[in-house]
Amino acid sequence: MQLHQGGTGVAGDCYRTCLAMVLDMDRDEVPHFCEHVPPGTQPDDPAHIASDEWERGWLAERGLTKVVVPHGGDIDVWQLAKQYHTLSPGAAVILQTALYGRVGVSDHVVVLHNGRLYDPLDLSWVEPLGCGMVRYQPSTHGLYWVTILAQATNPLTHAANPANVVSTGEDN
């Protein structure tokens, strides 16, 4: 796996590795969606938008979609792991965080599953805390971003009574 190299513009492949982990696939079966997105790129940047559209299309071909949920940076990563385990036992979610390592701060992605954090990196490059633990922090955007994969469905084709669907007013 190629690691992020902070400040060099080289994107690592931790995201596709985590996506492969959640989908029970080999990493090389998943495209490197972040390959052309420089580290630290904002979500409204054209490179980020293009990467996201590519990924959503790839997931849709597999009958999946993703839901991205932001969490404030004031929560601890271990609290997030516990919350997702408590609310959705057995579900694996992808967490965007940041690591503090010898190359500085770098956005990074891990998997949360059953109250544990699974990191696809060889953590020897990470500067551990005094107790030997890795220091996970909110992403460089100041938030934790949780990606949840879900089956893509059209609710109108499965609604028991289409008359019960409430319009947002945007479809008029």
Cβ proximity of 4 and 39 under 8 Å: yes
Report pLDDT digits (tens) over 68-111.
Answer: 999 998 988 888 989 999 999 999 999 998 876 655 667 888 89
- Rounded mean pLDDT of 110-125? 78
Report pLDDT digits (tens) over 33-74.
Answer: 988 887 667 778 898 899 999 999 999 999 999 999 999 989
Determine the Cα–Cα distance for residues 105 and 61; give it in Å rounded to an integer.
Answer: 35
Of 97, 98, 95, residue with least CA distance to 147: 95
- Pairwise pLDDT comparison (99 vs 138), residue with the higher score: 138
Residue type, 30: V
pTM above 0.75, yes or no: yes
Q: Any idea what DSSP says for residue 166?
A: P
Determine the Cα–Cα distance for residues 154 and 117; give it in Å rounded to an integer.
Answer: 32
At residue 106, the 3 state secondary structure works out as strand
The residue ranges of every structural domain in the chain are 14-155
What pLDDT shows up at residue 129? 42
Q: Any idea what DSSP says for residue 146?
A: E
Over the range 133-151, which residues count as b (16 or more CB within 10 Å of their CB) and which as e? ebebbbbbbebbbbbbbee
- Pairwise pLDDT comparison (39 vs 115), residue with the higher score: 115
- Pairwise pLDDT comparison (151 vs 160), residue with the higher score: 151
Phi and psi of 34, rounded to 5°? -90, 5
Question: 99, exposed or middle or buried, with CB in 10 Å at 0-12, 13-18, 19+?
Answer: buried
Determine the Cα–Cα distance for residues 84 and 169; give it in Å rounded to an integer.
Answer: 33
